[in-house]
Amino acid sequence: MKKIAVLTSGGDSPGMNPAIRSVVRTAIYYNLEVVGVKHGYKGLIEKDFIPMDRGSVADIIQRGGTVLLSARCEEFKTEAGRQRAYKNMQEEGIDALVVIGGDGSLRGVQKINAESEIKAVGIPGTIDNDLSCTDYTIGVDTAMNTILDAINKIRDTATSHERTFVIECMGRGSGYLALMTGLAGGAEYILVPEIDFDPKEVTDKIKQGFKRGKLHSLILIAEGVKAPFADLSEYNGSPGMAMGDLIRERTGMETRVTILGHLQRGGSPTATDRVVASRMGHKAVDLLLQGKRDKMVNYKNNSIGSCDITDAIVKKSEIDMKIYQLANILSM
């Protein structure tokens, strides 16, 4: 093996840059050439390659996002598109590939290994932390701290005006972010896609809290929650907005809604994300040097290891019900 490539794909997550830096500098340490692929899998198809050296990744460890840029690529899902990508890599002399991304990105790694001679491995980079076989995905710690900071600031206003606030965070298919930051932020109610709930229980709990003298209530809801909002006259598709309408209708209380949106993806990565990303980038290159393919770097029991890609994406990681129950106990 003489030359490896690295790309980031799908939604960006804080810590991707430290991972890129680690891959590049580890590969150079072992006398390998490194090529950066811009715009994810689209860059493979369009041959958007750039040579990388130590200087290419200088001063990026503290930066959010990804210096290689990212994009979703429908063409790579077609056989013709992938064959074009393999041809481009072959012409460039690329022997192996490191892909940093989430579920969809790892499925691309599977295809590359199954259909070409290129050895490909994946690094889990997604703020959802929803991949099985790993306790941690790059970006989740930074995203949690971003949400927690928002909760802390919103709580000040909620208390000052004695209001209920609904905060909608990311998590289309996974409630990990909502659960963990809701626990850390002391939310009165945490609503996640994996667990059904009765809106009446939420509104009753809010009313009971104010009767006890509470000055505010904070409801944290993941964007993927499919709640029973059919009784509302209008539902605009945002579970946060729908929940706010429901609380106002059933309690008569002044309620505000904050949708955090994409600010959760940005920001300088935390120390934890930088350290884990650096360790994962090094491990990815190590796997390739060992001749491994179709592997994902993982983080289990505070150790960096690897697992088969199939095992990582065969199912989503599950909500820890003990933590969910703890959050309910502490919010009473």
- Catalytic residue list: 128
- Please report, as a single letter, which amino acid is at residue 293: R
Residue 22 assigned ligand-binding role: yes
Residue 293 assigned ligand-binding role: no
Residue 103 assigned ligand-binding role: yes
Do the bridges between strand 96-101 and strand 3-8 make them parallel or antiparallel, or are there none, so unpaired? parallel
Residue 315 assigned ligand-binding role: no
Residue 127 assigned ligand-binding role: yes
Residue 207 assigned ligand-binding role: no
Q: What is the 3-state secondary structure (H, E, C) of 166-223?
A: EEEECCCCCCHHHHHHHHHHCCCEEECCCCCCCHHHHHHHHHHHHHCCCCCEEEEEEC
Distance CA 168, CA 96 (A): 40
Taking residue 196's Cβ as centre, other Cβ atoms within 10 Å add up to: 11
Residue 107 assigned ligand-binding role: no
Residue 104 assigned ligand-binding role: yes
- Please report, as a single letter, which amino acid is at residue 203: T
Nearest to 287 by CA among 99, 89, 140, 145: 99
Nearest to 40 by CA among 3, 2, 77: 77
- For the chain, the residue count is 332
Residue 94 assigned ligand-binding role: no
**Helix and strand numbers, DSSP H then E, in the chain:** 11, 11
DSSP three-state, residue 7: strand
Residue 128 assigned ligand-binding role: yes
Residue 11 assigned ligand-binding role: yes
Residue 170 assigned ligand-binding role: yes
Do the bridges between strand 189-191 and strand 295-300 make them parallel or antiparallel, or are there none, so unpaired? unpaired
Long-range contact list for 144-149, CB < 8 A, 24+ apart?
Answer: 144/177, 144/180, 144/181, 144/184, 145/270, 146/260, 146/263, 146/264, 146/266, 146/267, 147/177, 147/181, 147/185, 147/260, 147/264, 148/181, 148/184, 148/185
Residue 186 assigned ligand-binding role: yes
Residue 279 assigned ligand-binding role: no
Residue 25 assigned ligand-binding role: yes
Residue 263 assigned ligand-binding role: yes
Residue 32 assigned ligand-binding role: no
Task: For residue 14, give the H/E element and its range.
Answer: none
Torsion angle of the four alpha carbons 108, 109, 112, 117, in this order, in degrees rounded to the nearest 10: 170
Residue 305 assigned ligand-binding role: no
Nearest to 276 by CA among 96, 156, 129, 168: 129
Residue 24 assigned ligand-binding role: yes
Known binding-site positions for substrate: 126-128, 163, 170-172, 223, 256, 262-265
Known binding-site positions for Mg(2+): 103
Known binding-site positions: 11, 21-25, 72-73, 102-105, 126-128, 155, 163, 170-172, 186-188, 212, 214-216, 223, 256, 262-265
Known binding-site positions for ADP: 21-25, 155, 186-188, 212, 214-216
Known binding-site positions for ATP: 11, 72-73, 102-105
